[in-house]
């Protein structure tokens, strides 16, 4: 896709200082010294960085857990009501946890759900800490500031916190995710070019007010604004839930007769978005952004010319596996260098989708496709973020 050209333009402009920095955070450039230059320039591009993204030196850099393995890991989840959370939980309990348990490094995963209630999540985390139940805590997609006092409290008790698929601004947490504004720009530019650089586009974000949603949305809108003949005719929110995406888009389509040429929708709302379009009777079905939901990918599998690539911003299984690996390395004392370990978006073409879906696939599937850790977060790349990298699966627990 020509979108690659626009990414290179971003990088070139950054080198020349054409853009003013969007980040107010101090960047630990030394902490990135082992990261390949092309990835530093791409993923850590300050003009496509959330101004709140913590990029300083990790407080855990010269630390290892004072507790001996096997460790108990707390997962203080904020929500369980969508297919993405289900996909993350399945990978955690069916793949990740059994692996680390068999290696003798994890004995239990303690899980809580707070249903998007910050106060309840804080209470659950403090109970984990005060009850001596856990040796580390992982969280996902949380409010960026609400948990900071609790995260510090845990750190003072020797219990580190890792946030995956989102970040906190606490200097006492470590964070793993994609660069959200960058992937949003990628999706927006891709959509504009796919529809011939002109037409009407609907933008559908996840949960307004959450950094992962806001920053990806800003990236999408910034990219679309680069195309004067592309008009944003609707902006909707779907709470990262396909049922809500279907409802919100159906309502919009029923009250608007404007032609829709494309929909830039955040995962995990694409299957519901597609179902709303199919039920609306609109012909042809305008292209939408796909990011891993199997139901929507199935439509592409059955209609090969529909789009040209799927763009993965947060594959649930790979995201939680990455977070757990970074936490295990941290507990072992490998020394994370920087507060936020960021990756770039992954893509798949039609031939790759054919390898995972047959033509008789289910358009209503609630499952997820993940690019795989070798493509999402290769081990050689992740090791560049640690002072003392080694294979975490070969750690000698008797030496701890």
> The pTM is what?
0.93
* Contact indicator for 289, 265 with CB cutoff of 8 Å: yes
pLDDT of residue 42 exceeding 80: yes
Give the model's confidence band at 212: pLDDT under 50 very low, under 70 low, under 90 confident, else very high: confident
Residues 6+ apart with CB under 8 A from 342: 43, 44, 176, 177, 178, 179
Per-residue model confidence (pLDDT) at position 1? 45
pLDDT of residue 16 exceeding 70: no
pLDDT of residue 14 exceeding 50: no
Give the model's confidence band at 25: pLDDT under 50 very low, under 70 low, under 90 confident, else very high: low
pLDDT digit string (tens) for 134-163?
999 999 988 889 999 999 999 999 999 999
Per-residue model confidence (pLDDT) at position 23? 46
Give the model's confidence band at 208: pLDDT under 50 very low, under 70 low, under 90 confident, else very high: confident
Per-residue model confidence (pLDDT) at position 26? 81
pLDDT of residue 395 exceeding 80: yes
Distance (Å, whole) CA 124 – CA 131: 10
- Least confident interval from 202-211, 292-301, 369-378: 202-211
Distance (Å, whole) CA 202 – CA 360: 29
* Contact indicator for 76, 112 with CB cutoff of 8 Å: yes
- Cross-strand partners of 338: 57
* Contact indicator for 124, 76 with CB cutoff of 8 Å: yes
Per-residue model confidence (pLDDT) at position 19? 39
Distance (Å, whole) CA 400 – CA 396: 7
Per-residue model confidence (pLDDT) at position 311? 97
Distance (Å, whole) CA 289 – CA 203: 10
pLDDT of residue 247 exceeding 60: yes
pLDDT digit string (tens) for 300-317?
999 999 999 999 999 999
| β-strand pairing of 199-205 with 262-265 | parallel
Average pLDDT over residues 326-349: 97
Residue 200 CA to its chain's centroid (Å): 27
pLDDT of residue 132 exceeding 50: yes
Nearest to 185 by CA among 206, 230, 216, 211: 216
The total number of residues shown for the chain amounts to 400
Distance (Å, whole) CA 163 – CA 340: 9
Query: For the chain, how long is the longest CA-to-CA vector?
Result: 68
Distance (Å, whole) CA 4 – CA 18: 19
Give the model's confidence band at 210: pLDDT under 50 very low, under 70 low, under 90 confident, else very high: confident
pLDDT digit string (tens) for 76-90?
998 887 899 999 999
Per-residue model confidence (pLDDT) at position 21? 43
Nearest to 295 by CA among 235, 346, 246, 237: 246
Give the model's confidence band at 7: pLDDT under 50 very low, under 70 low, under 90 confident, else very high: low
pLDDT of residue 205 exceeding 70: yes
Question: Which residue is listed with tokens 């609109």?
Answer: 282
Per-residue model confidence (pLDDT) at position 116? 84
pLDDT digit string (tens) for 343-394?
999 999 999 999 999 999 999 999 999 999 999 999 999 999 999 999 999 9
Per-residue model confidence (pLDDT) at position 47? 85
């Amino acid at each position: 896709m020509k979108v690659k050209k626009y990414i290179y333009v971003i990088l070139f402009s950054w080198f020349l200082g054409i853009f003013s920095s969007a980040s107010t955070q101090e960047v630990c450039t030394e902490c990135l010294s082992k990261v390949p230059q092309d990835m530093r320039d791409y993923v850590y591009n300050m003009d496509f960085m959330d101004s709140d993204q913590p990029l300083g030196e990790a407080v855990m850099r010269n630390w290892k857990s004072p507790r001996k393995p096997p460790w108990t890991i707390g997962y203080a989840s904020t929500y369980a009501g969508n297919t993405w959370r289900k996909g993350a939980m399945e990978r955690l309990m069916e793949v990740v946890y059994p692996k680390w348990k068999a290696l003798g490094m994890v004995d239990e995963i303690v899980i809580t759900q707070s249903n998007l209630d910050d106060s309840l999540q804080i209470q659950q985390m403090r109970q984990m800490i005060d009850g001596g139940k856990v040796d580390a805590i992982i969280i996902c997609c949380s409010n960026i500031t609400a948990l900071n006092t609790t995260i510090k409290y845990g750190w003072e008790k020797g219990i580190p916190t890792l946030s995956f698929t989102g970040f906190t601004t606490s200097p006492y947490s470590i964070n793993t995710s994609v660069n959200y504004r960058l992937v949003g720009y990628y999706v927006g530019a891709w959509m504009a070019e796919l529809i011939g650089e002109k037409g009407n586009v609907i933008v559908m974000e996840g949960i307004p007010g959450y950094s992962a949603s806001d920053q990806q949305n800003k990236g999408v809108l910034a990219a679309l604004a680069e195309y004067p003949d592309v008009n944003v005719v609707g902006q909707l929110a779907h709470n990262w839930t396909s049922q809500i995406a279907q409802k919100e888009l159906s309502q919009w389509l029923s009250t608007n007769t404007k032609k829709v040429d494309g929909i830039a929708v955040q995962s995990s709302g694409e299957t519901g978005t597609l179902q709303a379009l199919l039920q609306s009777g609109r012909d042809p079905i305008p292209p939408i952004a796909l990011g891993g939901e199997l139901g929507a990918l199935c439509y592409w599998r059955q209609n090969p010319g529909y789009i040209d690539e799927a763009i993965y911003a947060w594959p649930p299984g790979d995201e939680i596996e990455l977070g757990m690996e970074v936490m295990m390395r941290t507990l072992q004392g490998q020394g994370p260098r920087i507060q936020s370990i960021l990756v770039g978006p992954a893509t798949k073409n039609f031939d790759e989708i054919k390898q995972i879906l047959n033509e008789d696939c289910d358009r209503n599937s609630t499952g997820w496709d993940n690019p795989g850790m070798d493509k999402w977060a290769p081990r050689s790349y992740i090791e560049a973020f640690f002072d003392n990298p080694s294979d975490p699966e070969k750690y000698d627990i008797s030496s701890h």
